[in-house]
Amino acid sequence: MALFGRRVGRTPLDDVDAVFADLDGVVYAGACAVPHAVDSLNRAGAGRRLGYITNNASRTDVAVAEHLRSLGLGSTRPSDIVTSPQAAVRLLRERVRPPATILVVGGDGLVDELEKAGYVVTRSADDAPSAVVQGFAPHVGWEHLAEAAYALATPEDDGGIPWIATNTDWTIPQARGIAPGNGTLVSAVHTAVGRLAVVAGKPERAIFEEAVARFGARHPLFLGDRLDTDIAGAQAAGIDSALVLTGIDRPKHVLAAPDSSRPTYILGDLRDLDEEYPETVVRGGVTTVGTAAVRIDGPEVTIVSEGDRPIDLVRAGAAAIWATGRAIYGFRVPERLYADPFHRP
């Protein structure tokens, strides 16, 4: 989308009737809230719907809502949480009807949604499951992945059972740093069986469409920290998005973002939701955002002015590079342009 400057003198929240936020890296990292996230979201939720779209399948919507309330998001209800296990169950129903037996690789969030839908849950391939559904949980180990591989040994085209993954995020932010995500676990099973899972969560559209329908949103804004899942998914679903630099993706990833995963807004942290979003001005080959300015001459990217806000320099650099239609490896980019003073776990 990358619609910089379309709302001169306005904030990212103007005209928005529902805010959807990712959780890991946007609201919290592990058990702890991301700095400024709670206060900013409480302000954003005044006068508009506030919901959460998460690929993390390890917990139930009830547990997630309780966690958010404990952090200070006091009005959060389970119905405000749209999860990848919920999306996985919708996909599963299209292939296997309850009360079929489903082999689960994952945690309580996945088990809870399957049981609510009327399925029988097993952890063993010996129980002749009708499908495998796989999601992230910290306790998932080799024996769980092995059971999935045993159950998925026959390709689906040859009469094998369906395999649905809640998501394929390669990493997950934790309080101690960045840890392997469900994508690494799905990849391990893929390596063993030589087949691909059907993916339910971001960046697929289904999870966003469920959120829009559930909240009756006409003009939502989605907040995410990953370009490849959050922003790409929102863009595919036709939803405006804001990338917040408090989680996985960094300024260097923003500058290199392909057209399919470019956010409408770039935020240093969620306080920027309340700030006037500066217009992008291009004049005489110079791209200016606020007091930051960048010029591109052939392969050379030059910082004309660093400006007084680091986030505006990232915005100017991204706007200038994206406007060329060329890939990032075709440029010589000064290190200062992708300096990273922004908070992350």
The total number of residues shown for the chain amounts to: 345
For residue 99 the two structure tokens come to 């009360």
Determine whether 22 is an active site residue.
yes
What number of other Cβ atoms are within 10 A of residue 327's Cβ?
10
Note whether 235 and 261 are within 8 A (CB).
yes
Which residue type, as a one-letter code, is found at position 11? T
* CA proximity to 255, closest of 303, 291, 307: 303
Q: Which of 329, 222, 217 is nearest to 267 (CA)?
A: 222
Q: Give dist(CA 55, CA 167) in Å, integer.
A: 6
- Per annotation, catalytic residue among 14, 15, 17, 22: 22
According to DSSP, the β-strands at 131-134 and 292-297 are unpaired
Cis-peptide into 129, omega within 30 deg: no
Which entry of 24, 61, 225, 230 is annotated as an active-site residue?
Answer: 24
Strand extents, DSSP E, the chain: 18-21, 28-29, 32-33, 49-54, 81-83, 101-105, 120-122, 131-134, 163-165, 171-174, 177-180, 198-199, 220-224, 240-244, 265-267, 280-283, 286-289, 292-297, 300-305
Q: Which residue(s) pair with 50 in the sheet?
A: 19
For the CA atoms of 306, 312, 318, 319, the dihedral, rounded to the nearest 10 degrees, stands at: -110
Q: Is 24 a catalytic residue?
A: yes
Residue with tokens 């691909």: 196
Active-site residue list: 22, 24
